[in-house]
Structure 1
Amino acid sequence: MPVTDITTDAENLTMTLVADVAAPVDRLWRAFTQPAQLERFWGPPGWPATFTRFDFTPGGRAQYAMSSPQGEKSRGTWEFIAIDEGRSFEVLDAFADENGEPMEQFPAMRMLFSFETTENGSRLTNVTYFTSAEGLEQVIAMGAIEGSRLAMGQLDAVVQDLRAYAQGQGTRVELLDDTHVRITRFIDGPRELVWRAHHETELLKKWMLGPDGWTMTVAEPATDVGGTFRYAWEQEGAPETAFGFEGELLQLDAPRREVTTERMSGVEGPGTVNDLQLYEEDGATLLTLLIEYPDKETRDTVLATGMADGMEDSYARLEAEVLSK
């Protein structure tokens, strides 16, 4: 996690975030000044940002919206005040309405982003200046500290070459909090094909099998928001082992993002919300799956089943049986 410090100063009405990354300062600068890079981390896990405007010049504007798995929107806008190429830039940051205009009930905040070289890479120092103690308290109450920490915690994957960062690491599982788990897997193939492999029945049955010896008997992916999906498996020669999952498609942004609900077929009670995102770089894809569980007990029970090992078997099969053909 690159964030090394987040402090608030009620007397000077500031919040300061410091993040250190193992990458050159020019790479860190590009991460914050190119919208395609910002979209990978500007927003905590589960709330990815989409920039619809980015005029990186003094007096220019940036507009973005962060979207939760349930489709809630949080919009923001920047007005660029000053830019010192490669070293710093300053913005007026404000909450925005549906048209991208600043919301008067939330005062704008001045933000200074500074970049410097360190012995081990580079450092970002982000100072936010508030106009009142009430404004500072309001932003803290809205979860800005933890949200910023989680958002910047995604920087490592952005500033490093994707293959160097993730290739050969297998399926990685991170416990973000009591109910959220992030799973990442480097897949050596283009995003478009990885997306198709998740949404075409013929391809699904080739790889989404878990450990050897299982077959996928039902593969009915959802095609439209509001539609449902159903998957089922059984061990070869043992129909009594059959089980399945079903759910609803909540969001669809092909081939970038898909959000679904999921529960075991025939089982009552709350299920999970699964947020699948795909990022492509140099012909390879980083798959990120954010899973929201109803509670810590369910999270721990599911992880204890060896779910991650089964996913790794499936992803390895995806590369071998689908992407290499």
Structure 2
Amino acid sequence: MSGTPSPTSPASPTSSASSAPPLTTAADRRTEITTPSDLAFAIAREFDAPRELVFAAFTEPRHVSRWLLGPDGWSMPVCEIDLREGGAWEYRWRSDADGAEFGMSGRYRLVDRPRRLVNTEVFEGQESVVTTEFAEIGARRTRVVQTSVFPSRELRDAVLASGMEGGVSTSHHRLAGLLPLLAEGA
């Protein structure tokens, strides 16, 4: 569930987790993208909300379709989530400007509410495995780390170079604004 529409801010692939600083955008300095290995990248962000609420925001279609939109000007007409081991998920985005669409899908391998998800992610015929961890930081703060592992370094670098960084940061910024509304029952 780490993919988002291609943003306007390209990411710069890095070669080593130990020497690479986190990638960030002006839209949100709190989203960090690192490369912990030659086959993986990790996206980390802290949210001012309890873990259970953040987990729900990542796993309930009525919430996901409100924030996982990438840059402004995109909508999510398809957001299906069967949250169980072996269950499928599918997202499809549409450009408001020209109607262009793209999507991704996968299956859940592990669902450990509200701590951890492991799922496949298929985009343009290429599959990665994504592990999402939700860590409590006190009673009202949650750190989310999504680690995507690819079959090759070239594929990992191509995804990073696609510009996904800006879309992820914008989506996280949108989620940070949505969480207080969800806490109030909106």
| TM-score, L = length of structure 1 | 0.46
Report 1:141-290 matches (<5 A). Answer: 169-239=29-99, 241-264=100-123, 267-268=124-125, 270-282=126-138, 283-290=140-147
In the alignment, the residues of structure 1 paired with residue 71 and residue 48 of structure 2 have an alpha-carbon distance, to the nearest angstrom, of 20
Q: Indicate the residue corresponding to 1:37 in structure 2.
A: none
SS of alignment partner, residue 136 of structure 2: strand
Quote the Cα distance in structure 1 between the aligned partners of 2:143 and 2:109. Answer: 22
How far did 1:237 drift? 4.2
Return the alpha-carbon distance in structure 2 between the equivalents of residues 173 and 205 of structure 1.
22
AA aligned opposite 2:92: A
Residue type of the alignment partner of 1:273: V
Of structures 1 and 2, the one scoring higher in RCO (CA 8 A, sep 6+) is: 2
What's the RMSD between the two structures over aligned residues? 1.7
Q: Distance in 1 between matches of 2:95 and 2:68?
A: 13
CA contact (8 A) 2:32 2:45 kept: yes
Q: Which amino acid aligns with 1:261?
A: T
| Aligned residue in 1 for 2:180 | 324
**Structure 1, residues 35-79: CA drift from partner, whole Å, max 9, x if none?**
xxxxxxxxxxxxxxxxxxxxxxxxxxxxxxxxxxxxxxxxxxxxx
Q: Secondary structure at the match of 1:230?
A: strand
Q: Indicate whether 1:312 and 2:169 are aligned.
A: yes
Give the structure with higher Rg (CA).
Answer: 1
Number of aligned residues: 155
Give the ranges of 4+ consecutive aligned residues of structure 1 lying more than 2 Å apart after TM superposition. none
Deviation at 1:317, TM superposition (A): 0.4
- Checking the alignment, whether the CA contact within 8 Å between 1:169 and 1:185 is kept in structure 2 is no
**Partners in 2 of 1:309 and 1:285 — Cα distance?**
21
For residue 271 of structure 1, give the secondary structure of its aligned residue in structure 2: strand
Which ranges in structure 1 are unaligned for 5 or more consecutive residues?
1-149, 154-167
- Paired residue type of 2:159: V
Task: State TM-score, norm by structure 2.
Answer: 0.79
Q: Which amino acid aligns with 2:121?
A: E
Q: Is 1:293–1:299's contact at 8 Å kept on the other side of the alignment?
A: yes
Structure 2: gaps (5+ residues): 1-16, 19-27, 182-186
Aligned-pair CA distance for 1:201: 1.3
